[in-house]
A and B are shown apart, each in its own frame.
Chain A
Amino acid sequence: MIEVDQLRKSYGDLTAVDGVSFTARPGEIFGLLGPNGAGKSTTIGCISGLLTPTAGHVRVMGHDVVRDGRAARQAIGVVPQEIALYDDLSAVENLHYWGGAQGLRNPRLRERAQEVLESTGLQDRAREPVKRFSGGMKRRLNFACGIIHAPQVLLLDEPTVGVDPQSRVRLLDLVREQAGAGVCVLYTTHYMEEAEALCTRLGIVDHGKLIAAGTLTELRSMMSERDLLRLTGVFDPASVRETLERVSGDGIEVVHAAPDQLTLSLAAAARKLPAIFSALESAGAEVRGTTLTQPSLESLFIKLTGKELRE
């Protein structure tokens, strides 16, 4: 179990994580979703004991990561964003080294190395130097090194970045297997579809703050089954707002208005497009492009932050 309570991490004037609180339970995959620089990796760093929080508390399986760091780290397995392996060592040698770092000793170390090599499908290449591996194989070995000691808590920091689709599916299956075995998984990503497919609960972070959290259903309900309509062109934000307020009886909410972009939230947007175009034309706007998004994490993120996740 991971308990994060009012976590804050600052570097001088820069606050990377600002009052984040959440709890992830055993057998659960808790996703932290947010763009690059949102504070996901810093949060993982604080939970893993790599970084000392400026304020707040983090407990892993009941152990405070600052006061009882060693016990907390023994319960944690980390799969970092970068492929943190020794290229000139073989897969099994890497596993022995990282298992040793987690305190495993033979014969248990040898047994576990064999188990994780099998579960990640690398047993046939176990004796080869890692530098001969493909990117996907390295990612799987990176994952294997994180679970070599059968951790109770698994922290995955964007583990599928740059991975081919086949290896990604394999990795996501491995993550589900861990959760199925009762491991508490914290998974950070900026891939919306990955979060939707994998996570049982989600937290959305932006600028170091947790702006929404809940199950996928709970988060979707925050959109009230409303579509998101994004228009590009030339707009006068004040005039557009005033014009659309006149037709707000139809429940049109202006999420974001800029001279070149307009974002609206509304129910059954497809049926209301002619009326909207007509109103915008009367406000002197020139519409050049239209994107209609049905309720999703993507639309929720845009609604909450006014920008796309990958921006």
Chain B
Amino acid sequence: MRFIWTSAWKDLTRTRRDPLALLMWIAVPLVLGGLLNAVFGGGNVTPQGRLLIADEDDSFVSNLLASAFSREPLSKMIFVEKVSRELGRARIDRGDGSALLIIPKGLADAVLRNEPFHLELFTNPSQRILPQMIQQVLTVMVEGEFYLQQVAGAQLRVLSQELPENRAPLDQDIARFSVSVNRLIDSLRKYLIPPVIRLDTEVAQENASGRGFAAVLFPASMFMALVLLSSALAADIWKELNGGTLRRLAMTPAPLAAFLAGRLLFVVVVYAVVALVGVSVARWIAGVPVASFPGAVAWLVFSGSAFFVLMLLLLLQASTQRGANILSNLVVFPLAMLGGSFFPFDFMPQWMAGIGAKTPNGLAVVQFNAILDGSVHARDLELTAAALSIAAALAFLLALRKLRRGFAL
């Protein structure tokens, strides 16, 4: 047990002797964030997503609702696709789509009669911005319907009560309704034309500097850095092997498990420093909203440590250091790109984001986003943490077995 500290101390001392390496590790997420910001132009980002609508009502009201997403500026960001309920559920379950809106039959009648009604919205957990936007638009429209009922509820109810089932309105019904609405508008004219309430919109300076963009890119750059650092820190095992120190250690009474645990402890310390600096810069310099600072740092340290152990196991499968380097490159870059650690999920095609969200780093990125914006669900976080912990523990044991069974020879 004591050798865990000895081993971690050794690695920390080696790092202290090479402060440039430590600075580079800290700088990696900052440099990546800066580069991504430059590559994507900074300032404005237009995420693109897909809203699946299962319109079972197929009325003018439901069409009005759907068409709200087809007007600019939403139409530039959200592509609306009509689907059946079953197909929509299947696609959203596999992450294909930003959200699924189900409009059950009876919406138009409910609006006309001012009766309670339920719309169903399913959102994709791997995306953050677009599902929230869709939810906001729906909320606004529901509120709009409330105000419509307050202003013209009587007219709507008259129309709906006087229309027998399955009969088109007669000319005199329409004429009476039109006169009624005209009178209503006349009574509101003094408020509407010109509007008494004027909405002045001013874009805050902070937004103009790209705050939203930084918030989108920050998780990706942090996790890209963690994946790269994990690979670099895990590759040190090959230095130990080639230098003969690991073989020498295997001839002492010190358990190899303590050596690995010491290395993991060292990695935790490194990630704590990297995460503290990274989250601090993001929050206080780039203006990224961080709902829970300790939570964000702790999650980065936890998930980074899990990546390290997984990477260690991977690199131990190679038979030479060169082979380990190739293996690392083969895995790290695709995993980083797919798992939302290079391009944020919001920038990806839906199918790719769906797959990426199931990778180890993808799982961690989704939860990190939730921690940052304060929308984390305890159960989701626990499940992800448990999955990463189990994978890391298994990888630790397998790596130890690999070391004991001949790697150290």
Please give me the 7 A-B residue pairs with the lowest Cβ-Cβ distance, nearest first: A84-B244, A100-B6, A82-B244, A101-B254, A84-B248, A101-B252, A48-B251
Residues of B within 8 A of A100 (CB): 2-3, 6, 254
Instruction: Count A-B contacts at CB 8 Å.
Output: 70
B118 at the A interface (CB under 8 A): no
Q: What 1/0 flags go to B377-409 for Cβ under 8 Å of A?
A: 000000000000000000000000000000011
List 30 interface pairs A-B (beta carbons < 8 Å), by A numbering.
Answer: A50-B250, A50-B409, A51-B409, A70-B253, A73-B252, A73-B253, A76-B251, A78-B248, A78-B252, A82-B244, A84-B244, A84-B245, A84-B247, A84-B248, A85-B243, A86-B10, A87-B243, A88-B18, A93-B13, A96-B6, A97-B6, A97-B10, A98-B252, A100-B3, A101-B249, A101-B252, A101-B254, A105-B2, A129-B17, A145-B248
CB distance from B98 to the nearest CB of A (A): 50
Chain B: CB-nearest residue to A79: B248
A214 within 8 A of B: no
Residue B167 at the A interface, CB < 8 A? Answer: no
> Which of B14, B249, B251, B252 is the one whose CB lies under 8 Å from A88?
B14
> Whole-angstrom distance between the alpha carbons of A73 and B252 in the complex?
6
Cα distance A83–B252 in the bound complex, in angstroms: 16
Give the Cβ gap from B409 to chain A, nearest Cβ, in Å.
Answer: 6
A contact residues vs B (CB 8 Å cutoff): 45, 48-51, 70, 73-74, 76, 78, 80, 82-89, 93, 96-98, 100-103, 105, 129, 145
Chain A residues positioned under 8 Å from B6 (CB to CB): 96-97, 100-101
- Distance of A76 Cα from B6 Cα, bound (Å): 20
Shortest CB–CB separation between residue A64 and chain B, in angstroms? 15
Contact A89 B251, beta carbon cutoff 8 Å: no
Extra contacts, 4 of them, besides A83-B244, A86-B10, A101-B252 (Cβ < 8 A), are A49-B251, A80-B248, A89-B10, A105-B2
Contact pattern, B 1-22, Cβ under 8 Å of A = 1, otherwise 0: 0110010001001100110000
Query: With A and B bound together, what is the CA distance between A80 and B251 in angstroms?
Result: 10
Q: Nearest chain-A residue to B10 (Cβ)? A: A97
Q: Is the CB of A89 within 8 A of B250?
A: no
CA distance A78 to B247 in the complex (A): 11
Of A45, A84, A102, the residue contacting B243 (CB under 8 A) is A84
Residue contact A102 to B254, C-beta cutoff 8 Å: yes
Q: How far is the CB of B320 from chain A (nearest CB, A)?
A: 17
A103 and B253 contact, CB distance less than 8 A: yes
**Which residues 234-259 of B have a CB within 8 angstroms of A?**
243-245, 247-254
Complex CA distance for A80 and B245, rounded to whole angstroms: 10
> Which residues of B sit under 8 angstroms from A129, Cβ to Cβ?
17
- Which B-chain residue is minimally distant from A78 (CB atoms)? B251
B14→A89 contact, CB < 8 A:
yes
CA distance A51 to B407 in the complex (A): 11
B17: chain A residues at CB < 8 Å are 88-89, 129
The answer to whether A86 and B254 touch across the interface, beta carbons within 8 angstroms, is no
B250: chain A residues at CB < 8 Å are 49-50
**Closest A residue by C-beta to B17:** A88
Q: How far is the CA of A96 from the CA of B2 in the complex (A)?
A: 13
Report how far A86 CA is from B14 CA in the complex, Å: 8
* Nearest CB of chain B from residue A40's CB, rounded to whole Å: 15
Bound Cα distance A82, B6 (Å): 23
8 Å CB interface, B342-395 against A? none
Shortest A223–chain B CB gap in Å is 36
Q: Identify which of residues 309-331 in chain B touch chain A, using a CB-to-CB cut-off of 8 Å.
A: none
**Nearest-CB residue, chain B, relative to A131:** B17
Query: For residue B244, which residues in chain A have a CB less than 8 angstroms away from its CB?
Result: 80, 82-84
Which of A78, A84, A105 has the most chain B CB atoms closer than 10 A to its own CB? A84
When the two chains form their complex, are residues A50 and B245 in contact, meaning their CB atoms are under 8 A apart?
A: no
Q: In chain B between 218 and 272, which residues have their CB closer than 8 angstroms to a CB of chain A?
A: 243-245, 247-254
Report whether B247 and A80 are in contact in the complex, using a CB–CB cutoff of 8 Å. Answer: yes
- Given the complex, which residues of B lie within 8 Å of A85, measured CB to CB? 243, 245
Q: Are A102 and B252 in contact (CB under 8 A)?
A: yes
B14 → chain A closest CB, angstroms: 5
Chain A residues with Cβ below 8 Å from B253 are: 70, 73-74, 101-103
A76 to B244: give the CA distance in the assembly, Å.
17
Complex: how many Å from CA A213 to CA B5? 45
Question: A97–B262 Cα gap in the complex (Å)?
Answer: 12
Q: Are B14 and A101 in contact (CB under 8 A)?
A: no
A45 & B13 in contact (Cβ 8 Å cutoff): no
User: In whole angstroms, what is the CA distance A73 to B2 when docked?
Assistant: 17
| Chain B residue at smallest Cβ distance from A103 | B253
Contact of A50 among B2, B3, B13, B408 (CB under 8 A): B408
Chain B proximity of A67: nearest CB distance (Å) = 15
Q: How far is the CB of A120 from chain B (nearest CB, A)?
A: 17
Tell me which of A86, A101, A103, A105 has the highest count of chain B C-beta atoms within 10 A of its own C-beta. Answer: A101
Instruction: Across the interface, name the chain B residue whose C-beta is closest to A102.
Output: B252
Q: How far is the CB of B267 from chain A (nearest CB, A)?
A: 17
User: Is the beta-carbon distance between A50 and B18 smaller than 8 angstroms?
Assistant: no
Known contacts A86-B14, A88-B18, A101 near B3 by CB under 8 Å: yes
Which B residues are CB-close (under 8 A) to A49?
250-251
Minimum CB distance partner of A129 in chain B: B17
- A residues less than 8 Å from B254 (CB atoms): 100-103
Closest to B15 in A: A88
Cα distance, A51 to B409, chains bound together (Å):
7
**Contact assessment for A45 and B14 in the assembled complex, using a CB-CB cutoff below 8 Å:** no
Question: Which residues of B sit under 8 angstroms from A96, Cβ to Cβ?
Answer: 6
Q: Which chain A residue lies CB-closest to B259?
A: A101
Among B3, B13, B249, B408, the residue within 8 A (CB) of A89 is B13
Interface centre among B13, B14, B251 (most CB of A within 10 A): B251
Please name all residues of chain A whose beta carbon is closer than 8 Å to the beta carbon of B249 when the two chains form the complex: 101
B245 touches A86 (CB 8 A): yes
**Within 8 Å CB of A84, what residues of B?**
243-245, 247-248
Residues of chain B contacted by A83 (CB below 8 angstroms): 244
* Closest Cβ neighbor of A70 among chain B residues: B253
- A89-B10, A100-B3, A100-B6 known; A45 and B248 CB under 8 Å? no
B251 near A73: Cβ-Cβ < 8 Å: yes
Shortest A153–chain B CB gap in Å is 12
Q: Which residues of A contact B2 (CB under 8 A)?
A: 100, 105
